[in-house]
Amino acid sequence: MANEMQNDEAIFASKRQRKRHYIKLFFFVILLLLNGGSIVSLLGRLISHGHVELGAELFHFLMVAIIDIYMVPPIIFEVDSVTVYKGSIELKALLWKRRLKFEEIRGYQVYPHMVWAIVTTPRCFYLINKRDIDRFTDFDAVFRARLPS
């Protein structure tokens, strides 16, 4: 079964430009350093001075949380490449690659005023950037034709 899935020919394939992939990776590392650095900085001030201003620290952590809420989901869940096969779709995100059978897909929404198309599965969701996928309308037609109704 696994060999059958690997030998399938791709019906549709599209990749994001490598430059955009590396920019996304760069910002992911920056966010990790920002979150880790904030905690280490707080601990360093507590150890060396024994006192920190609670209001300033809460404001700082609130700002970091807002940045995380705004930036982390697109960085982690946005798909870098999409390959549609006869019975499955392969989605490659920044941190993992997943090959899904069409029966596993619970939802697919394309909103006209949103940058992303959203693919949902029981375990995860994936954001497909309509601007990064070459011939997105072709992908949309091929993908919708293979989804179970």
3-state SS, residue 12: strand
Residues of the chain with pLDDT under 70: 1-7
Between CA 72 and CA 59 the distance in angstroms is: 19
Q: In the prediction, which pLDDT does 1 show?
A: 47
Q: What is the pTM of this model?
A: 0.80
Between CA 81 and CA 15 the distance in angstroms is: 4
What is the average pLDDT score of the chain?
89
Residues 42-57: pLDDT tens digits?
899 889 987 888 898 8
Best CA proximity match to 92, nearest among 27, 142, 18, 33: 18
